[in-house]
Chain A
Amino acid sequence: MPENRSISHTRKDLAFEVAGECLSLLPCGALWWEDAEVLVVSDLHLEKASSYAARGQLLPPYDTGATLRRITALIENLAPATVISLGDSFHDRRARPRMAASDVTTIRTMTDQTDWIWIEGNHDPKPPEDLGGRIAHELVLGALIFRHEPTPGAARGEIAGHLHPCARVAGRGRSVRSRCFASDGERMVMPAYGALTGGLNVLDAAFDALFPKGMIAGVLGRDGVYATAGNRLIADTLRAAG
């Protein structure tokens, strides 16, 4: 169990220390590292809806636009020097040709404004090269290392995505399920940021190997990010939508 001293609230954000670096967990699911002026978003899964549409399930074609608009707003507010998209930025390898022209323009504007880094993910091992930004497998900044898939075993300073952590919190005769950050103070797994991305419960075995000594979930609520200990979390049953 990490030390709880490291938890404090500023506005709606939750301040949290990972490997000694002070990070802000934002209610929208992004990570803001103010000291380094770095903004991190993970698992955007752009063009997820159209990927399903191509196979006969006509999901609303608004997810890419919705996700990009939220990032644009963040960049306007925080003015980051660097933006890291932590892998699985695109839902599949044919996402780029399905993208609307307006969404392409939005991405190019953002990659122009900032030092934008596309980390490679399993859905997008080769992110498109015509959208601006740099492509990297992983990235080391200060005490932190950014990569898509978390490594089992101790990996101090690792910030990863991939698992789409979600928490179910019980109380008042019902339960709330929401995306969350998962961390033990040494490393962190970020929630998926994309508009149509579901999640995997943090009580799933996949998290055991990452946090053998337990972890704290930073659960995304409407009004803020809430730090929640393992004893308040409950498991999902069937629907672990990923």
Chain B
Amino acid sequence: MADDQKQLVQLPAPFAQWFAGRGWSLRPHQAALIDTAGRGQGGLVIAPTGGGKTLAGFLPSLIDLAVQPPRIHPALHTLYISPLKALATDVARNLAAPVQEMQLGISLETRTGDTSASRRQRQRAKPPDILLTTPEQLALLVASEHAKRFFADLKAVIVDEVHAIAQSKRGDLLSLCLATLRTWAPEARHIGLSATVRDPDALARWLGPDTPIIRHKGGAEANISVLDSEARIPWSGHTGRHNIREVYGHIREANMSLVFVNTRSQAEMTFQELWRVNEDSLPIALHHGSLDVDQRRRVEAAMAAGKLKAVVCTSTLDLGIDWGAVDLVVQMGAPKGSSRLIQRIGRSNHRMDEPSRALLAPSNRFEVLECRAAVEAVAAGELDGPGPRRGALDVLAQHIMGRACGEGFDGVKLYEEVTLAAPYKDLDWETWERVVDLVATGGYALKTYDRFRRIVKFPDGLWRARNDDVRRQHRMNIGTIIEDPMISVRIVSFMKGGEGKRLMRPGRKLGEMEEYFFEMLTPGDTFLFAGEVLKFEGISDTDALVTRTYDPDPAIPSYNGGKFPLTTFLADRVRRILHDRENWKKLPAQVREWIEVQERKSIIPQPDQLLIETFPRGDRHYLVCYPFEGRLAHQTLGMLLTRRMERSGLKPLGFVASEYALSVWALEDLRGEDMDQLFHEDMLGDDLDAWLEESALMKRTFRNNALIAGLIERRYPKHEKTGRQITFSTDLIYDVLRSHEPDHILLQTARQDAGDGLLDIRRLADALKRIKGKIVHSKLEQISPFAVPVMLEIGKEPVYSGDAAEAILREAEDDLVRDAMS
């Protein structure tokens, strides 16, 4: 339909001239959106990066504002929401140009966490025509006084990068706020801008009922290749060290490259390795979420100015600002999913007419298979992505509080509004009431907090926050992104103090790392950060103090930032590649040989089968299986298997999980075991519950739920100055609540989150169901070729056993006794 549309849409004169002046013509999707706007409708625009998507979103608003007579009272016309603050700022800048050149006289402003209080106040009193902001700032606006009036004249809402935000708690919060805007400004058009996704219909529903989908194919095919390294491909590990010279060669040939990795530790490592071989002293920079913001901005600016040859980066550069000059995207290690790969490839060559160039550099043998699977998936145009999600209840609680802080709400009407938000369409009235009670009194069966209610039903029937303290507290704590406690990494210098003491003077901040990383280090340990080898000197308040050093063998920071598992979809493809001999021919010779030996010595499973191998080695017996379901699901499986084996008297000692496989070892021979029995899906019953309740992950999940729901506050007015953020332990709250009210709504939420997220229980459940009756057990005398990679992980990865905490304490005591005896 889009091509015919072009003729129908007539641009107003200044716009037509502006387009003509640049030699541009209206693109079909831009025309289509102007057309739907004419009918009072929004739409979901699906187009690859660089397709003029953002301009398409704004064009109808610009035209509308340009042709209508100037308004006497300033009112907000268009609200633009971006997941990234930096993107909102960038879009504002890019939009300012046409507005100025066409002399449209339209005001546009950004509103982010950095916007000053006075400016915010002015924006509320005298709103700009177009406001560019983030989901959290929108939630704040919704929770403010007279919010309804502020949005009353709203004509358009534009949600950018909607694919990146819909399937998350941030997306839940945004969808609730959008539902509120529908109530307050029923005529406003809702427009979504998205990259190509697996299920456009679901995304359109997320945006609102009856949202038309406007597709824009365009762009040349991507040119993707898998690096066929001359060097020996490692069995395991993620260093990618073996092919760094070849990658460097490609970077040298290209104009500008983005080198994507999957974790921050890989980013540090890759950056180090690239500089080790950087004979031409090419300007190669590093960009990841832990680096200091200023540092990151400098790298981005240098890139925009074309001063860099390459940037090693994590998902921090997956979204956002266009880098026109990038003509090569390198993916170090496996891409983990075809949608992510396409998104990353889209970061190059935004000129659309030239093909994007991408190079995949697998870091081990299984990754060769995974990269191959990803290339095939992209060629076939197959995408992966999460299914529709159920809206989180902690986020709902936050929204209810927000509405109570703003206009106040009627219980029945707000329930109806909430169920119009796609993630909450199945919310039942009973659950709704429980969440309202959670907001009001904590939702406890023991009703003792009536006098401490946070929201109160007023005589006019509306619920409102009890007082200004409650309002202030809520507004300070809006948002769904809860990060692990972070600690600043600072370079120190030493000064001579009295009595020969050395005094440390904290200096420049290099960035931030998760606090728990430093809980593992003792002073003197070295690690890689911000592209340097650093020595840990100690902790001072909220700073980790470090010095520069030249240790050739630093510890690799094991911080988890940005680990994502292989998608189910890609896992299927890997299994198929593995099974089909025809495919082997396309693989590098060493990988092919590896698979052939596996076939000779053990078994190559059918694509729908699960291969389990058992063999003795040293004085232990090993079980290795290959579900290809990702490390998280494998860890959960390992935890449950060892519990079950413990009960059967097999004396399991530990296990280690990789992305592709799981290895469990025990004292007893495992070759006689009934594997159908051992891998039966009933392991997800009591064992799972029992283990889950105790697990640290569950406690962490609960903490986040309690913070998002507002049961506890991250920031509390009185405690701000001391820097102490939470003055009680959320682990203890979890323990008390669990033993006294196990069905509390937040515990239910925590279980659901843990199942979906960190523990990947849902995925494990699906896998166990799938392999039922399809297990092949290969009883071996010795280790198989496939088992080697995961066996090599033993010793590198932490080993799990049920009672690790007790074991650590017992060993510490043994130390003391040994010291005493010696």
Q: Which residues of A contact B (CB under 8 A)?
A: 4-5, 7, 48-50, 52-54, 56-63, 65-66, 100, 168-176, 178, 195-198, 216, 219, 221-223, 226-229, 231-232, 234-239, 241-242
Contact = CB atoms under 8 A, between A and B. Distances in A.
Interface string B732-743: 110111011100
Which of A52, A54, A56 has the most CB atoms of chain B within a 10 A radius of its CB?
A56
Nearest to A99: B448
Contacts of B469: 56
B727 A196 contact: no
Given A56-B454, A60-B442, A221 B809 contact: yes
Given A232-B815, A237-B515, A56 B470 contact: yes
B731 to A, nearest CB: 9
Nearest to B519: A175
Interface stretch (B135-143, B238-246, B799-807): B799-807
Given A60-B736, A232-B816, 19 more contacts: A50-B449, A56-B713, A57-B712, A59-B711, A59-B733, A60-B442, A60-B741, A169-B812, A170-B520, A170-B522, A173-B520, A175-B520, A176-B808, A195-B735, A198-B732, A226-B810, A234-B519, A237-B487, A239-B485
> Chain B: interface residue count, which band?
35 or more
B441 interface: yes
Contacts of B485: 237-239
A146 to B, nearest CB: 25
Contacts of A221: 805-806, 809-810
A50 B796 CA distance: 46
A204 B518 CA distance: 16
A228 B815 CA distance: 8
Which 4 A-B residue pairings sit nearest by Cβ, starting from the closest? Answer: A58-B442, A4-B820, A171-B808, A62-B740
B539 to A, nearest CB: 5
B426 interface: no
A172 B812 contact: no
Contacts of A223: 806
A100 to B, nearest CB: 7
A52 B728 contact: yes
A235 B522 CA distance: 9
A226 B442 contact: no
Given A53-B442, A198-B729, A174 B520 contact: yes
B194 to A, nearest CB: 38
A235 B519 CA distance: 7
A59 B735 CA distance: 12
A65 B728 contact: no
Given A227-B816, A238-B487, A168 B733 contact: no
B819 interface: yes
A174 B816 contact: no
Nearest to B726: A241
Contacts of A232: 812, 815-816
A59 B712 contact: yes
A61 B816 CA distance: 40
A227 B732 contact: no
B550 interface: no
Nearest to B711: A58
B511 to A, nearest CB: 16
B813 A172 contact: no
A232 B813 CA distance: 9
Interface in B515-572: 515, 518-520, 522, 539, 542, 544
Nearest to B712: A57
Nearest to B709: A58
Contacts of B806: 221-223
Contacts of A173: 520, 798
Contact of A63 (B522, B539, B736, B813): B736
B390 to A, nearest CB: 24
A28 B422 CA distance: 48
A60 B739 CA distance: 11
Contacts of B452: 50, 53-54, 56, 58
B807 A172 contact: yes
A53 B449 contact: yes
B804 A172 contact: yes
A62 B732 contact: no
Interface string B438-457: 00011010101100101000
25 contacts: A4-B816, A7-B817, A53-B449, A56-B473, A57-B711, A59-B712, A60-B740, A60-B744, A63-B736, A170-B522, A171-B811, A174-B520, A175-B519, A175-B808, A197-B732, A221-B810, A223-B806, A226-B812, A227-B813, A227-B816, A229-B812, A232-B812, A237-B542, A237-B544, A239-B515
B807 to A, nearest CB: 7
